[in-house]
Structure 1
């Protein structure tokens, strides 16, 4: 997790990956808000968002960073192989976990509950609970939109923190 009070020198790649990471949250928010009306397109948007976030994470602990990246890669593979339920689950694991992490980094309200919301959303989507899916996708999308707005209001270096603490 980043230390916002520390400002490490940032190069082009640091700036680019922070921007990609933050764009991932915007795409995720819009995709979740569209999930009930355009499920195939929204699923693809959610997978793209998870890929943006997972490819550009700045998390000090290697095992968390690799877990989120691995979940996204497995999700993409499942999508390619025709298992959209598992693909959705992989993307939700990544996005829900990152929301939980962002809560502890920056204390954006209600993000600590996002993993529960995405788990319930996955179950309602898989078991075709249309009304519950619609309600939960709006809640998840709204929280992601709140996170995206909060993230874009912060300086880019807040996402990087102390580069010397990263496990390689």
Structure 2
């Protein structure tokens, strides 16, 4: 998915609703199941899963694009490497006001034990932040709670 692509549910004359959304729902459900080993598609699947109730043709096209990516990159799953270092490292970021419908920020983080990825998440924040600094603070608080629990 392009980094600056904004997916919305706004009505467009060119973008029609799918007549039968069960196929789209099954596809997204299978992609969610695949997230256990493929964190590289987590954000794209997170964005598309928000439109399970009324998907549009553009949403299906993006889901099929994820499938093409997966077909062309079969060996890009999680790998655990042997390491003498057992440092716990956390990376966190927030995208202020990313969701156009609710204006809530999106928090994303990943945790590494040594060189191995052990946890990751991308989620909308519970409240609307009034500044980018506030959304970054909320993101750091979220990952701190994840590390210490």
Q: TM-score, normalised by structure 1?
A: 0.30
Q: Which has the higher contact order (CA 8 A, sep 6+)?
A: 1
Q: Please say which structure displays the higher CA radius of gyration.
A: 2
Q: Which has the higher helix share?
A: 1
Higher strand share: 2
